[in-house]
Amino acid sequence: MRVVIAEDSVLLREGIARLLEDAGHTVVMRVASGPELVDAIVAERPDVSIVDVRMPPTFRDEGLRAAIEARAKVPGAPVLVLSQYVEERYAGELLATGAEGIGYLLKDRVADVAEFLAALRQVAQGGTALDPEVVSQLFSRHRRDDRLTTLTPREQEVLALMAEGQSNAAIAERMFIGEGTVEKHISNIFSKLGLDDSASQHRRVLAVLTYLRG
């Protein structure tokens, strides 16, 4: 993969770059500010960008703002955001740009190299990769969409795992059920959320967005 890294900490930026290069990926640009990130994504069109939420000059949400601006200029540009803490507003604003090609992980996840690289690939392929802490601490507080109340506990569990970016096979393994059962749960979820076949391949993304925004 061709990757852009936006991180103001030289130590972390170079550490992530080394990790990616050792895994066979190419870091096409390293930047330390929001405007540089936007320019890099527009110029390089990377397969995925790794972005720190808090960057200079105020260290509040410059990285996130830049990621949102970049996705407006390059629709669907895959972005994996790293944050020190679970920050509800930041995650919500990023997801408002669409769930395709979006990731939000706590920085601690970088320590698990295999998990981090798997999330990066997922985002680069247009999927969603949300830290389990983000799902459990954030969005569980906002499930008031009436359609979501019609889901059974098992269907809610499946949808939560979908929101983490888990595949059907991974969901089956986590829940100790067969893939056929997972597919049946997902079909029921689509039906209860009113996502018919006209939504085609986007139904999974729309279901996740309904869950996260609900």
Contact 4, 31 (CB under 8 A): yes
Considering only the top CATH level, what class is 2-131?
alpha beta
pLDDT given for residue 2 in this prediction: 97
Query: Does pLDDT of 97 surpass 90?
Result: no
Query: Does pLDDT of 185 surpass 80?
Result: yes
Task: Fill in the amino acid letter for 182.
Answer: V
| The token pair that represents 185 in the structure block | 């749960």
Tell me the domain boundaries of the chain: 2-131, 143-213
Query: Does pLDDT of 142 surpass 60?
Result: no
pLDDT given for residue 175 in this prediction: 93
pLDDT given for residue 136 in this prediction: 65
pLDDT given for residue 22 in this prediction: 95
Residue 4's pLDDT band (boundaries 50, 70, 90)? Answer: very high
Tell me the pLDDT tens digit for each residue of 14-57: 999 999 999 999 999 999 999 999 999 999 999 999 999 888 88
Percentage of the chain surpassing pLDDT 70? 86
pLDDT given for residue 206 in this prediction: 76
Break the chain down into helix, strand, coil percent, rounded to 5.
60, 15, 30
Fold of 143-213: Arc Repressor Mutant, subunit A (1.10.10)
Residue 2 β-bridge partners:
26
Q: What is the mean pLDDT of residues 162-171?
A: 87
Residue 29 β-bridge partners:
4
One DSSP character per residue, 9-68 reads -HHHHHHHHHHHHHTT-EEEEEESSHHHHHHHHHHH--SEEEEES--TTTTSSHHHHHHH
Query: Does pLDDT of 89 surpass 70?
Result: no
pLDDT given for residue 38 in this prediction: 96
